[in-house]
Amino acid sequence: MATDNDVKKRDLTLVSAIGFEGHVPSGLHVHPDGTHVVHALGTSVVVMELSSGRQHFLTGHSHNVSCVDVSRSGKYIASGQINFMGFRAEVIVWSYDGLTRFGSHNLHKVKVEAVAFSANDMFMASLGGQDDGNVIVYDMATKDPLCGLTASQPTQGNSLVLCFCSTADDTFITGGDYTLRVWKINRKRRFITPTNVSVSEVKRKIRCLRVDSLDRYLYCGTTSGDILKVRLGQQEGQVPALVACLARVPEKKTRRTREGEAYTGGVWSLLMLPGDELLVGTGNGTVARLKESAQKPQNTIKLMKRITDRLMDEIQRNTVQGRVTTLTADGQGRVYIGTADSHIYTACPQSIRLTLLRTCHPTEVKEVTFPRACSELFVTCASEDTRIWHAPSGQELMRMAVPNMVCQCVQVTADGSTVITGWNDGNVRGYNPESGKLKFMIRDVHNRGVTALAPFSTGKLLITGGGEGQVRAWEIGRHTQTLRAALKEHRGSVTCLRLTRDDAECVSASTDGSCIIWDVRRFTRKTVLFANTLFMSVCYHPSEAQLITCGTDRKLAYWEIFDGSLIRELEAAQDGALNALDITSDGKYIVTGGDDKLLKVYRYSEGDCVFTGVGHSTAISSLKISPDMKTVVSVGTDGAILCWKMPEDAAVGQ
């Protein structure tokens, strides 16, 4: 049996990535040069040029990046990660000029909740998660950790957020569940001293922190929807103390009292604007510009066990898709908004007119495919929608959505006139790719959802596979869609369907451990392949004399179509299933992807792995080689879409 360790493997070149980890708090930053944005994506930190969309990837973390920060000078980038229980989570400091590693430490356990730089890049502080609970101060001059301490008291909750003061390098703040502390750094003694903020009887879960430009006040966004205003007490003799719980002026002004109104879903992101104004991002997608009102409540109305003695006027507001997790601004004051649904918006703070800058799937991408003879466009499907992408720029061109449904498979007809999708409600929907309008819908195609599709090159016949194991043929007319045949051989879900070039044969792969080759002109079975695995994908060799399969046994298998005999097996993964494969149109190279998160390129004849692509943070669910064989697009269960450069023939195997 051949293995993929026979030759030295080289790395595939990652050309671009379509993705944004929107659930990472404060995971989007505009670089001070105003031309780049920095954000997390899987195990990498992405530095993207705004004008051209060109991307650079900072790779070094072993698992998903959980937090990111950019220094105010723009010289450094810091990132922390999450790891398995019992393992250390690394914090890495990157040099922006060369996009190289500057320093690191691994003093946290399991997860790093937040990282932050001091005002003049003197220190970098990192905050561990609930399994760690420590705050570590890193000295940028010596490239060594300076000191550390437990972030919160035993009677308090977990600390989740961290920020430095705007002018003082030696002061930073941590906050979280019922805890808020101001810290002082003593560099000579290598010690940090915490001071608990006096908040009286107020109990809040804090999710974001912002300090004004003069270090006078700290603003804390809470899950209860109000904002805590805290006096930092930088002057001698003063102690940090709560000044007020801020809430917006209610929309309904018919009440006799002026009771503050909290934001639904909580306040998850804050940004300081000129003129002592605040930009607020909430859990229900509201982005609002606020300013403290000159009027005060007429009566002492309690807002969640706290007297609301300050109101805030809502000057402007708008709504985005998903919970707002990041608010950041460039040097010109333009605001960038990141959401948990993996959308990036830009807005002018005066009017909050939104422009969608980047978007991607927030959930698992089920399948990716290219139209025939078109390498500039590709189509992906995921929960609730199907999207058409422009490959060179990574921009979304069209979206076809069905609320509360999951699109499980997608294919494009040979002439490119229809995007055909299969859904978990058992229906097949065909869309016009130019307008996104529904052209036809076949109801009740399968009773356990449509899991695979294969349209004929003529566009008049469609083969479908279902979760119950049936393979069905449908005649697609201009106004009607008719069932032609139902083939009941599989006992497990149909995972993949492939047709020959002349539409005479079709192969179906199933989780019952069989692949069946069908005569689709007479709708009869020709050959059956059996293996001790759950087949996940199958494809024809361009000669159409052999089949290549992959599945949960981690093996890449070659089969003879004539008699169904096994020709060769390759051990293509160390652990986890192989979920997807594709072969080049000349039959020289096979590309595979699976639960090991690696994209591998094999030479078909030699059976050795010559290139490996590292970039996915979760399992690869589907992949496709472009018709011009210059690009491979792979998609993962985290919603990321990665575009790789296919190696040239002369480079492979040298």
Over residues 399-437, the pLDDT tens digits come to: 999 989 999 999 999 999 999 999 999 999 999 999 999
pLDDT at 256: 45
Res. 284: pLDDT tops 70: yes
The phi and psi torsions of 52 (rounded to 5 degrees) equal -100, -15
How confident is the model over 127-152, as a mean pLDDT?
Answer: 94
DSSP β-bridge partners for residue 471: 465, 487
b vs e for 600-618, b when ≥16 Cβ sit within 10 Å of the residue's Cβ?
bbbbbeebbbbbebebbbb
Is the CB of residue 472 less than 8 Å from the CB of residue 466? yes
How confident is the model over 311-326, as a mean pLDDT?
Answer: 89
Q: Is 583 strand, coil or helix?
A: strand
pLDDT at 295: 60
Give a three-class secondary structure readout of 42-109. CCEEEEEECCCCCEEEEECCCCCEEEEEECCCCCEEEEEEECCCCCEEEEEEEECCCCEEEEEEEEEE
> How far does the chain reach from its first CA to its final CA, in angstroms?
23
Of all residues in the chain, what percent carry a pLDDT higher than 70? 93
Res. 306: pLDDT tops 70: no
pLDDT band at 294 (very low <50, low <70, confident <90, very high): low
Q: Is 579 strand, coil or helix?
A: strand
Q: Is 35 strand, coil or helix?
A: coil
How confident is the model over 606-610, as a mean pLDDT?
Answer: 90
Q: What is the pLDDT of residues 71-98, one digit of tens each?
A: 999 999 999 999 999 999 999 999 999 9
Give the containing element (helix H, strand E) for 227. Answer: strand 227-231
pLDDT band at 461 (very low <50, low <70, confident <90, very high): very high
Q: How many residues does the chain have?
A: 654
Q: Which two tokens stand for residue 527?
A: 């050959």
Res. 137: pLDDT tops 70: yes
Res. 654: pLDDT tops 70: no
How confident is the model over 562-588, as a mean pLDDT?
Answer: 90
Token look-up 């080049």 returns 584
CA distance 36 to 402: 34
How confident is the model over 95-108, as a mean pLDDT?
Answer: 94
Q: What is the CA radius of gyration of the chain?
A: 28
pLDDT at 349: 77
CA distance 424 to 446: 9
CA distance 139 to 73: 16
pLDDT band at 296 (very low <50, low <70, confident <90, very high): low
Res. 479: pLDDT tops 90: no
Res. 299: pLDDT tops 60: no
Res. 507: pLDDT tops 70: yes
Res. 590: pLDDT tops 50: yes
Report the chain's mean pLDDT, rounded to a whole number: 89
CA distance 63 to 425: 35
Amino acid at 480: T
Res. 305: pLDDT tops 60: no
pLDDT at 275: 82
How confident is the model over 474-498, as a mean pLDDT?
Answer: 91
Res. 5: pLDDT tops 60: no
CA distance 299 to 514: 75
Res. 236: pLDDT tops 50: yes
pLDDT at 119: 93
pLDDT at 8: 58
pLDDT at 510: 95
Query: Which range among 166-180, 300-314, 354-368 shows the weakest confidence by mean pLDDT?
Result: 300-314
How confident is the model over 30-54, as a mean pLDDT?
Answer: 89
Percent helix, strand, coil in the chain, to 5, is 0, 55, 45
Is the CB of residue 73 less than 8 Å from the CB of residue 121? yes
How confident is the model over 494-510, as a mean pLDDT?
Answer: 94
Query: Which range among 10-14, 87-91, 265-269, 516-520 shows the weakest confidence by mean pLDDT?
Result: 10-14
Q: Output the CA torsion 569→572→577→582 (10° steps).
A: -90
How confident is the model over 61-65, as a mean pLDDT?
Answer: 89
pLDDT at 259: 60
How confident is the model over 528-534, as a mean pLDDT?
Answer: 92
Q: Are strands 10-11 and 641-645 parallel, antiparallel or unpaired?
A: unpaired
111 Rama sector, left if φ>0, alpha if ψ -120 to 50, beta otherwise: beta
Q: Which two tokens stand for residue 494?
A: 């149909």
Res. 472: pLDDT tops 50: yes
Give the containing element (helix H, strand E) for 288. Answer: strand 286-292
pLDDT at 463: 95
Q: What is the DSSP letter of 302?
A: B
Is the CB of residue 112 less than 8 Å from the CB of residue 129? yes
List CB contacts of 478: < 8 A, sequence separation 6 or more: none
